[in-house]
Amino acid sequence: MIALLAPGQGAQSPGMLAPWLELHGAQDRIEAWSEAIGLDLRWLGTTAGAEEIKDTAVTQPLVVALSLLAAEELARRVDLPIEAPIAGHSVGELAAAAVAGVLTADEAVALAAVRGQEMAGACALAPTGMSAVLGGDPDDVRAVLAELELDAANYNGAGQMVVAGSLDALAALAARKPARTRVIPLPVAGAFHTRFMAPAERALARYATQLTAKNPARPLLSNADGEVVDDGTEMLHRLVAQVTRPVRWDRCMATLGALAVTATVELPPAGTLTGLVRRDIKGTVTLALKTPEDLDKVSGLIRGQSATIRCGTEHSGADLLETMA
C-alpha cells in the first residue's frame, strides 16, 4: 500500500514554487490563492529569500499551497488508490485534510494563512523558541524537560524530539543536556505546539466556525495520536487544537506501519518526512516529490503497487524502484 505525506513548516526553501508554475493552470491557481489571503505567493515562492519565507505568517500558507498544487497535478495524472492513507506534519495536516476531502483546497490555504498569522502574533508575546533533542534515554530527557518547564512539541521518531519553551530554559537545556544527546537550536520564531500558542488556538477556533468539514474520502491520520479519523467535524477540531498540542509523528509512522504501507510519496516541499520514514519504517520505498519531473516516478510507483495487488504477490523495495525507473 502507498501513503501520501504532506510536510510542514521548516521544509521550505527559496524558489521552491518556480518549477511548479510551469504546469498548466498553476499560475492562475496561485494568483487566486494570493488574492484570497492577501499574500503574493508567487513572489514568495520564486523570488523571496530564505529569511523572508522563514516568517511564520507567510511560510505556512506557502507550504500548504505548494503541496496542494502538486497534489492536484498528481491527481490529474494518476488515480491514487482510495484506500491510500494520507498524513501531514503540523501545518501539513491542513494540506492532508484537503487531499482527503475534509476541506477544499481554497479553505485549507486560507486556514493556513490565518494559522500562520495568529501563531506569529502569539510568538511576539514572549521570547520563546524550539530545539531538537537527538538521542538519549526518553525518560532522562523528559525528566530534564519537566525540571526546566520545557514542553515536548514534536515526537518525530527515529530518536528525535523537538522541545519548546522560553529562550532562557532552552539555553539551560543546551548547557546541561541529558546524557548521550545532542541539542540543536532551531531557527523558528517561537514555541509552536505548546501552551504558548493558546491565543492562536482561540483565534483559529473562531475562524473555524465559518467552515463546514466533510468526512474524509480516504484514511486520514491525525497528528494528535496517529489514529485514522473518519469524522470531518472531529478532524477540523483537531486541526484547531493541534497548535497547542505536540505533533505525534512517531505515532503516525506507527500507524502507517500497522496499515502495511510499503511506499510513501511526500508532497513538496519534500524531503524531511521522507528521511524520517526511511529511518523509522525500515524497508519502505520512499519518494520525495520535489519537482514536476518526479511526477512520472510517482505514477510508476502507484502502477507498480497496483500490479502487486492484482498479482497477489509482494515485491521488495528494489523491485518497486525498478518499476519507478
Virtual torsion, Cα 65, 68, 70, 73, nearest 10 deg: -130
Which grid coordinates belong to 98?
A: 484537503
The H or E element that residue 131 is part of is strand 128-135
> Mind telling me the catalytic residues?
90, 193
Query: How far is 207 from 209, CA to CA, in rounded Å?
Result: 5
Query: How far is 161 from 157, CA to CA, in rounded Å?
Result: 7
Q: Which residues contact 138 (CB under 8 A, 6 or more apart)?
A: 161
β-strands 2-6, 86-88 pairing: parallel
Q: Kindly give the interhelix angle for 105-123 and 92-99, rounded to the nearest 10 degrees.
A: 170
